[in-house]
Structure 1
Amino acid sequence: MITQGVFIADRYEIIDRVGSGGMSDVYRAKDHILGREVAIKILKQEFSEDATFVAKFRTEAQSAAGLEHPNIVNIYDVGSENGMYFIVMEYVEGITLKTYIEKKGQLNFKEAISIAIQVGRGIEAAHQKGIIHRDIKPQNIIISTEGKVKVTDFGIARAASSNTIHADVMGSVHYSSPEQARNGFVDGKSDIYSLGIVMYEMVTGRVPFDGDNTVAVAIQHLQEEMVAPSAYAPELPISLEKIILKATMKKADRRYATISDLLVDLKKALVSPNEDFVTIVESDLGKTQVMRKPTPEQEESLTKRAAEALTFEDDYDDEEEDYDDDYYEDDYDDDEYEDESRMDRILTISGVVAAIAIVAILVAILGNVAGVFSFGAKKVTMVNLVGTQYEEALGQLEDLGLNEKNVVVSTEASDEAEGTIINQSVAEGKEFSLNDTLRITVAGKGETADNSSNSSSNTQTAPETTEEPEEEETVAVPSVIGLSQADATKLLDEKGIVVTSTSQEFSDDVASGKVISQSISAGQEVAKNTSITLTISKGKKETTYSYSIANPYEGECKYEITELGKSGTIPKNGSINISEVKVSSLTVKLTYTPTFTTEDGTTINLDDKTESTTQTVQGTAN
């Protein structure tokens, strides 16, 4: 039983359970070596003794471990302990696209295209490494709180090769391609089909095929024509409708040849949404059409125009569209969120030659329900106040959107002129939430705030104000240096001081997980509910190494690394990647047994002989 506080591999501390899938459960955990939150996917107990399921679980990690892309959930580690198999991956806080669609009903075409482009970029990165996802669906697409769209759960992905005859496992049937439904050859065009179905659902709020059981839905994918999306979304531009129709052609050779071609048309749809530029092959007969690939200059021009087209103007929305929906977590959280504001800008475009626009829908899901619906706090970039007079500083803060409720003022004896700002709790250039409290210290006469014990309050509102300042309850900040993060947070909470953020640093003197420093000095008097930040030790910095171990044989081979206690299988023409290892070289034993797999999935050894080699692999310092 995995419960809160349990450690896995003497490193990952379980915080809570955040989701569950068909094969595994997902937990949020704390990595005590690197000081970061991670997600751990643990194979369910009923499957851990099934060799087939274990093999699929390992394949997931090995397929995804080599993928590093902003639109893909990163895999950090994979291992097993006492018969429990687990994968450690990036923890993404946000909501699934499925939840977002359920809350919005139908997405407007700009939102749908921006999300589709980001998903497509993640799929493109995988295809370039020969990996087919095979299970693209809204439940496997996460929109983070920062607005980044990420593809997750390569649960049935594997490296594509010329001898790939059929998929071992069908993905969710509502999004499966016809070739997956009939257990046929699966390649990158299957992911294109599934992404086309996802786009259909985004713009219509429904899937094109549905039924009482999976067989009925699969037959519809094979035999029935789907209703055009414009039947449910009359204002859908013709370009996006034809992109969806082309991506979801039943015959794979009529779809887009590559995901990159699909991304080019999506960008064109942003620039010219009502232009009928998509060519759909309606019949196998006739001449072969050659599509010209855009030149780098054309690609760069299209990228810039697409970025400009993705700016949402104030007059874009009408009264019927509401971007201020509240959202609810699906796989990651059960808490209630609400949208901070409608999307008014898209992530910047970055790229290389023939790169495609990175676009993002800025989805904010911060907020709470307390009788009336209130929106999440806007963040601003703090300006420099030190050296300015209080009245001038107050004017700068008002320009940022702050008011006296956000500002706590303390006086302190100083050589500076009276009324001069000598300290601010948030440094220049740092992000600051308008719901947080900014502490500024003003030069004055008399004792400093730290030495004052008899005054009724060391905080004040604006100097020379005509209003009577309200008296605030103050507390002395305790020293939490050397305490664990949990103990420090508890102690500060008891004093009425709120830990709003933490950072991590390496330290030769402070043990890992302990507090190195605090943003407000111990003994200082502050108002209750004042925010404080802590710096947590990551322990001594140790050099770690990464390894890439290639398969030297013609078929799959097994490997064993004694130094790490790791073993597994390397796919044909593939390799494994191992990181965060504290030794500079590893001795790897590789064993190959010639096998043959029959049509019913039975694996037969061709002979009793095996080949084995032992090699020493040098690591690359991280």
Structure 2
Amino acid sequence: MITQGVFIADRYEVIDKIGAGGMSDVYRAKDHILGREVAIKILKPEFSEDATFVAKFRTEAQSAAGLEHPNIVNIYDVGSENGMYFIVMEYVEGITLKTYIEKKGQLNFKEAISIAIQVGRGIEAAHQKGIIHRDIKPQNIIISTEGKVKVTDFGIARAASSNTIHADVMGSVHYSSPEQARNGFVDGKSDIYSLGIVMYEMVTGRVPFDGDNTVAIAIQHLQEEMVAPSAYAPDLPISLEKIILKATMKSPDRRYATISDMLMDLKKALVSPNEDFVTIVESADLGKTQIMTRITPEQEESLTKKAAQALIFDDEYEDEEEEYYDDEYYDDEYYDDEYYDDEDDYEDSKMDKIITISGIIAGIAIVVIIVAILGTHFGVFKFGSKKVTMINVVGTQYEEAKTELTDLGLEEENILVSYEDSDDYEDGVVMSQSTKEGDEFSLNDTLRLTVSGEGEAEGGSDSSASSEKSESKPSSSSSSSSNSTPSANTGNAATQTPAAGTENKSTDADSSAKVAVPSVVGLTQAEATTVLDAKNIVVTSTSTENSDTVPQGQVISQSIAPGEMVAANSTITLVISKGAKATTYNYTIANPFEGDCTYSIAELNKSGTIPKSGAINISDVSKAQLTVTLTPAEGVAGEAQTQTVQGTAN
């Protein structure tokens, strides 16, 4: 008898028993050589002398030990001692997906796809080594306390090349494929079917087939059509629904050819959930030559990046993900040791992938920045004929304006300054510019600026006078008419210097300096914020509105009119365009019969089953009306009917 403190193979000290399976018990133990906790699966004594069970147990160990993948449980050791056969695997705390579904009810589509992709990666790795899992079910999918996921229980996994592939079905009948139910040939498409059933349960909160006994459920897998998942999850995107339907086709030939093909469609569903891109082969087309579109490695890499971004940058999903990893799901009440019965652990590689993708994106961004800098440099330094879009410097201190213009590519000698007295502007502030904001400007041309303050007559300043004025003129951070004394100079320009001991007063004066509000209408939100920040105007909030004239993402209006003089650090709000409002329609289609019925919508290329007294909801459809054909199920009274249904505009 295995008790606490017993050593196995003079290495593993048993801590406690954590689970029991159909033919084995699982214990938590301490590996004294590597100093880590492990899980040990030990064949039950009553089976240890049964050659069939021992062979099955060894097959499990050999199959699992040959797999190395982040989404498959790690097998550390396999052995026997005094007639006791054992497998040593990594120890992972967590709950099963089954428990998580029971706790949450239904998973949102992004959460379901994320889990399905991770499970699919583990299955894909096994299939590439010729190993079929044969028992994919939520009880064999573990969400760890760290938010990682692993596929467990390769207990009935068997090499695809085995001559005994027709062995008795041992998987859970709720998730078994039709060919498993009839004890037929089993290959990778059986795992695809089981994963499809798991996905169905994730999005609906229920299994498609249920009954009083295993035989009744198996017959349903063989003969009955399942209710479309959208009947229970009305907001389910069409792409995910059709992926589930294709994966669970009764004929293996109508399912995905490989788990890799299914993974590609799952990634597409993350990027374009409402796009109807899944192709389901009709029964009449089986046996015909099919032209398959193969995706290139570059396209696959791009799709993978977009899918990762769809998970990372969606605020709604991030909120769900926080809930997904909430500690409450790992309280003792929900801790589930049964995964050790099924013995499998599935580690989530999503974060590693995200980090890798982020590094690639960062590298690309750095290259783009370098190219942009070099392009800008070589575009302006050789000739002055380059054309630029003029910026607005009105309301800016001259020194600051000059810096902005030289950054734009203008040479100082091409900036001609004249001075005028003004009661509306502080001294040294640009009052006007010869080329207005947004106009095209050649760097060979001369830009004329009018600056507030005493100086030469308009048009009488040249580049040297401008330079002299720049040297004598105080900067925006120190100018103050109340703390300066005029004195003559050779250029007849007023020179302002702070009076002794008035440094703090100058700072106070600066805080009340007036600036002209630039126009940011038509700019993107990011561009508008940058322009306003440069003028010391703070964007405090934004709102969005539909607009038929302003493109999506651009500023429709601003709370302070352009040209208005305001104090530095004043606040402003912006209204951002959501683009033209597209009219979409929602539909509710009820079952008019006294039993189940099927529906078909030609305009959407959508079909499925509606349960008795049930209905389906279809949202965000661009068409104002749909043609729906409703057909009663076999044995249900009534005749097929075609309806023209009017949608409800959003």
Contact 1:61–1:87 (Cα < 8 Å) also in 2:
yes
The whole-number CA distance in structure 2 between the counterparts of 1:186 and 1:350 is 37
The higher radius of gyration belongs to: 2
2:117 corresponds to which residue? 117
TM-score normalised according to structure 2 size: 0.50
The percentage of aligned residue pairs carrying the same residue is 89
Contact 2:188–2:258 (Cα < 8 Å) also in 1:
yes
**AA paired with 1:18?**
I
2:91 corresponds to which residue? 91
- Counterparts of 1:301-450 in structure 2, within 5 Å, are 301-311=302-312, 313-315=314-316, 326-327=328-329, 328-331=334-337, 348-349=353-354
1:457 corresponds to which residue? none
Shift of 1:167: 3.0
- Counterparts of 1:434-473 in structure 2, within 5 Å, are none
Contact 2:311–2:318 (Cα < 8 Å) also in 1:
no
The whole-number CA distance in structure 2 between the counterparts of 1:262 and 1:333 is 25
The whole-number CA distance in structure 1 between the counterparts of 2:101 and 2:38 is 26
1:270 matched to 2:270? The reply is: yes
1:297 corresponds to which residue? 298
1:233 corresponds to which residue? 233
The whole-number CA distance in structure 2 between the counterparts of 1:190 and 1:160 is 12
1:146 aligns to what SS in structure 2? Answer: coil
Q: Which moved more, 1:164-173 or 1:239-248?
A: 164-173
The whole-number CA distance in structure 1 between the counterparts of 2:319 and 2:236 is 15
- Counterparts of 1:123-138 in structure 2, within 5 Å, are 123-138=123-138
Q: Which moved more, 1:286-295 or 1:130-139?
A: 286-295
1:224 corresponds to which residue? 224
Q: Structure 1 pair 314/165, CA: closer, same or farther in 2 (3 Å)?
A: closer
Q: Structure 1 pair 194/316, CA: closer, same or farther in 2 (3 Å)?
A: closer
1:155 corresponds to which residue? 155
- Counterparts of 1:485-504 in structure 2, within 5 Å, are none
Shift of 1:77: 0.9
Contact 1:41–1:88 (Cα < 8 Å) also in 2:
yes
The whole-number CA distance in structure 1 between the counterparts of 2:12 and 2:327 is 35
Extract unaligned runs of 5+ from structure 1. 335-342, 353-622
1:254 corresponds to which residue? 254
1:151 aligns to what SS in structure 2? Answer: strand
The whole-number CA distance in structure 2 between the counterparts of 1:256 and 1:351 is 28
Contact 2:142–2:339 (Cα < 8 Å) also in 1:
no
Q: Structure 1 pair 48/246, CA: closer, same or farther in 2 (3 Å)?
A: same
Q: Which moved more, 1:41-50 or 1:258-267?
A: 41-50
**AA paired with 1:55?**
A
TM-score normalised according to structure 1 size: 0.53
The whole-number CA distance in structure 2 between the counterparts of 1:331 and 1:142 is 10
Which protein, 1 or 2, shows the higher relative CO under an 8 Å CA cutoff with sep ≥ 6? 2
Extract unaligned runs of 5+ from structure 2. 341-347, 358-650
Contact 2:239–2:274 (Cα < 8 Å) also in 1:
yes
The whole-number CA distance in structure 2 between the counterparts of 1:35 and 1:180 is 42
Q: Number of paired residues?
A: 342
Contact 1:130–1:160 (Cα < 8 Å) also in 2:
yes
**AA paired with 1:197?**
I
Shift of 1:81: 1.4
2:281 corresponds to which residue? 281
Q: Structure 1 pair 9/187, CA: closer, same or farther in 2 (3 Å)?
A: same
**AA paired with 2:189?**
K
The whole-number CA distance in structure 1 between the counterparts of 2:225 and 2:253 is 17
Q: Deviations over 1:432-475 (max 9, x none)?
A: xxxxxxxxxxxxxxxxxxxxxxxxxxxxxxxxxxxxxxxxxxxx
1:143 matched to 2:143? The reply is: yes
The whole-number CA distance in structure 1 between the counterparts of 2:141 and 2:285 is 37
Q: Deviations over 1:20-72 (max 9, x none)?
A: 11111111110101111110001112211211111111110011111010000
**AA paired with 2:337?**
D
Q: Deviations over 1:510-569 (max 9, x none)?
A: xxxxxxxxxxxxxxxxxxxxxxxxxxxxxxxxxxxxxxxxxxxxxxxxxxxxxxxxxxxx
The whole-number CA distance in structure 1 between the counterparts of 2:328 and 2:129 is 38
Q: Structure 1 pair 69/104, CA: closer, same or farther in 2 (3 Å)?
A: same
1:39 aligns to what SS in structure 2? Answer: strand
**AA paired with 1:294?**
I
Contact 1:24–1:41 (Cα < 8 Å) also in 2:
yes
Q: Structure 1 pair 142/50, CA: closer, same or farther in 2 (3 Å)?
A: same
Contact 1:14–1:27 (Cα < 8 Å) also in 2:
yes
Contact 2:134–2:171 (Cα < 8 Å) also in 1:
yes
Shift of 1:333: 9.6
Shift of 1:317: 8.5
Greater fraction of residues in helix: 2
- Counterparts of 1:179-258 in structure 2, within 5 Å, are 179-258=179-258
Q: Deviations over 1:66-112 (max 9, x none)?
A: 10100000111111112211110111111111111111111101111
Shift of 1:325: 7.7
1:171 aligns to what SS in structure 2? Answer: coil
**AA paired with 2:250?**
K
**AA paired with 1:157?**
A
